[in-house]
Chains A and B, each alone.
Chain A
């Protein structure tokens, strides 16, 4: 993806019209600053040749002839580049990978894949056998699809399949706990002993939890309430009405600033600001952080 994720949301959110309310959302640490992956958007070439190999990524497999690995223009999430991999046979797995430095703690390996067919394995792995006892990590996520198989639909009805749409990028996420003594892990994304085809884009590897920092300005309108919801979590992760620093029955300070600590770095959040006049202003993070 050519443009980096913008980490600060500066949206003038208009609801039923009236005054503008500005909701700024950042994280600490900033998501891309905390991203340990190099060439995370797959746009940088290794060396001077723009069409050469992708910088920082390499193919790893015991049977290279089983794979076609390239980096085509126009295949990424925004029409730019993505890592591409075809496994011709199931004789061997193969992965795009790079090694990143780590310190002990919880990380999140995430990114986006699009697949036509095949069993995908996304995993972060590493081992240090030079200390006693050896330490290591092997955190995995599998995804896959067979919709493009030549067996579909005559032999495999579409309704028999589970799996993603072949034209859509989907997110993946792998939680990784790095133990003491491990100084680096390998991030691998590829096809696990199946024939198939996949593209990878916009990968990150960073802390599993971040602090969500909000700054909401009424721009002349007084704010009654700010609430933060996380997708697929029923209770809000933050509500100013439950915040002892926000006295009940009084407008919120202008601008209203708050930090929501230790939220999952891979979460999707809805921030809702309500004015004293009853207008609702909403922002999705990070989706509307483009």
Chain B
């Protein structure tokens, strides 16, 4: 938002002058737009159904007059793929709308200039005029209604997506705010047709413009096919602004994994790093690492005060002791190889006295939301007051403080609690704020605007190694959309059964491909009286809850964190696949049809595709899943089970059809292994993959005729060595081979790892240790760095964990030595960086783990540990709670009986 003169508006007006109707139409997002000179309107047509949408109209509601603002078209131009329309109105307000394509969306940028002397309250709305509404369904940003006969659209701001959608079987139309918009208010609704007007799907937002002020708001529109309903619109929306629906590319990728749930923060166990690794915990929620809410640094001038309740634990320490304690725990947590997210209550809560006395301009006074906590919460001893951390004294201090603690503790992330954005700010900073709206009580700026800007600020910070700081957040599904847009990885503070089985779905729609995790845990006492229940009843209950967690995690793309997985065998068995799916990226268009009550979910595109099929009924049906490959890849995509087990793919009309038996309470996960182009070159493919750490074969028994190009999935760290069709070598180009089929043929693609060398058995069976103790020695160079030392200690810990914690015996205590290896009496392990090439290899009884640099060394080392896990597998111990100890009985962790 700027004051006059505005460059953008001027440029838009210039473009009008230069390009008036030089072209007649523009095409974007599967829509064709034409200017209807006679009607003075924009005509629109979908490429998938010319009857679905007929026009796109801008109108503006005047909040001051409580009436529509009459708009007159002054000028129109169509040039350079843009349509520009300038409007005038009875007020000194200029409005210019520019329609243009951006990736998979049509962006309608509406620029508004208030050239008058009064503050204006304006509500620009983009209306999609709908033609044929037969069989139409509508999504209002939260709820679907089929064939609505009356106005439809919840007016609720929270828990609602910033887009809506309408669709029939052939086409869909998505409409809403552009993803980058940060607004205090929006609305969508559908109006069914009447005798006077056609049906309308409308989206709007509110602008508050002071005298001489301008603002611009971008709407988003896209048309897609209709088969997958509003998920088609979600897909187009994500692809219009992909960076806003995935973790930031420059933040630490470990935030894609699950949450540690206090296995890293204040954990205190020497085995914490190994527990975190085995449970796929990549980040930690470092809860309230400060003494006084609102003073996250722990400044001397704010240290001494009279809290509402007596501080306890470390918060009762002296300032020096506390800061030392904090630094020590962040350092200990980092050793767990987890991103330590410094908790802040989104900086919207501040200790009451601090808020009132130091930041009075930031106080949020809102009778419709809770503004004061007088019960123990953030620190336990403070009363906390709702404040506004943007363009206020508190907002400025928050930025100073967050930068300071980030530097002091070399943070990689902040963890935003209460990120939902409740509360309307009307304080003294209001005139300076963007994203303002109005209601019956006047102008306000909602807290979600402040939180979104603070999240943007976090992304402007860098760790010492240049990594951009990430935002972990807890927005809850009833949040402002913006809280999710500007987060990198999120939690739902609840279990998969919280409220109902779909409570977490809307958060997934908002998050796109970002990681989501459940939180809390099983809480079996909410289901049964633990004093009455037998141990077997408790076990049955936990197994059921774990199975439900497994299915819902696959269905909607959540990672179960440590409270769900630690000591729970079945979830830990599935964690690698589940984490693979979520980090690959949830896809709204499943493109896999299954009969009800089964459901299917897709992750990834092309050869990264993973498709999960499951159900939640008491049956084990045999069904056929029909995969529409063309929706996410070229040609026919061929699948095996996730572990490479054989599947028969029947290729019919370009679809891959696979017969599967779906057991009770158990998902079936399919993995793409190959693409065949053209799809009709084959009618059947029996595919299996036996690919491990060091390599293996992908085998495709193909039935078809003619020339076909086969692209194959090449897992990370593998490369294709050869390809043979019916035993005869065929040329390999990249990841593809071209073959001629005449009936049946077996294509065998052999792969090998250039890094993990030799036999897989030799690597996995390397004699590190046994029950009697270490049978190997780790050697580091004299000048080995921190990373080499760290990894050596992780290898030591790996076997201490296995023999000590899991085996309940003596820890193996593999020695770590510096210098050249002494002639070994047992195995020798050499870990080093700065090698000419990366390798993990056993040569003459010595295991070499070496790489060119620290990052690569760590990567291949951790990959190697995952491979070792297949031999040294554990779900960790079921010791966290008395009910889990009862459920698991004499087993080390909770197991599943064969018949369950």
Contact = CB atoms under 8 A, between A and B. Distances in A.
Interface in B515-558: 525-529, 532-533, 537-538, 540-541, 544-545, 547-548
Contacts of B500: 150
A151 B540 CA distance: 12
Nearest to A196: B526
A163 B528 contact: yes
Contact of B664 (A89, A154, A193, A195): A154
Interface string B761-805: 000000000000000000000000000000000000000000000
B356 interface: no
A248 interface: no
A146 B537 CA distance: 13
A162 B532 contact: yes
A161 interface: yes
Interface string A133-157: 0000000001110100111011111
Contacts of A98: none
B499 A160 contact: no
Contact of B529 (A62, A90, A162): A162
Contact of A154 (B497, B525, B528, B618): B618
A160 B537 contact: yes
| Closest 10 pairs (CB-CB, A-B) | A160-B540, A155-B544, A146-B527, A162-B532, A155-B548, A194-B526, A156-B544, A162-B528, A160-B541, A160-B537
A118 B529 CA distance: 11
B498 A156 contact: no
Contacts of A159: 537, 540
Contact of A162 (B537, B547, B617, B664): B537
Given A89-B499, A150-B500, A159-B537, A144 B544 contact: no
Given A149-B497, A150-B501, A154-B616, A161 B544 contact: no
B757 interface: no
A155 B665 contact: yes
A285 to B, nearest CB: 28
B529 A163 contact: yes
A62 B374 CA distance: 11
A150 B499 CA distance: 10
Interface of A: 62, 88-90, 118-119, 142-144, 146, 149-151, 153-157, 159-163, 193-195
A159 B494 CA distance: 26
Given A154-B618, A155-B545, A156-B540, 7 more contacts: A88-B499, A89-B499, A144-B527, A144-B529, A151-B545, A151-B548, A154-B616
B529 A142 contact: yes
Given A119-B525, A151-B544, A154-B618, A162 B533 contact: yes
A157 B533 CA distance: 13
B663 to A, nearest CB: 12
Interface residues of B, number: 27
**Chain B CB within 10 Å, residue with most, of A118, A146, A151:** A151
B497 A151 contact: yes
Contacts of B532: 162
Contacts of B540: 156-157, 159-160
22 contacts: A89-B498, A90-B494, A90-B526, A119-B525, A142-B529, A143-B529, A144-B528, A146-B526, A150-B501, A151-B544, A151-B548, A154-B544, A154-B617, A154-B664, A155-B544, A156-B540, A157-B540, A159-B540, A160-B533, A160-B541, A162-B532, A194-B526
Nearest to B531: A162
A163 B533 CA distance: 9
A154 B501 contact: no
A143 B529 CA distance: 7
Contacts of B497: 149-151
Contacts of B541: 156, 160-161
Contacts of B375: 62
B598 to A, nearest CB: 14
Contacts of B545: 151, 155-156
A161 B527 contact: yes
A25 to B, nearest CB: 33
Contact of A160 (B525, B528, B616): B528
B542 to A, nearest CB: 9
B523 to A, nearest CB: 8
Contacts of A154: 544, 616-618, 664-665
B159 to A, nearest CB: 12
Contacts of B533: 160, 162
A146 B528 contact: yes
Nearest to A153: B618
Nearest to B493: A91
Nearest to B503: A89
Contact of B526 (A88, A119, A153, A160): A119
Interface in B372-401: 375
B226 to A, nearest CB: 30
Interface in B469-517: 494, 497-501
Given A150-B500, A153-B618, A144 B537 contact: no
A281 B538 CA distance: 46
A93 to B, nearest CB: 12
Contacts of A142: 529
A164 B581 CA distance: 40
A160 B529 contact: no
Given A149-B497, A150-B500, A162-B537, A157 B528 contact: no
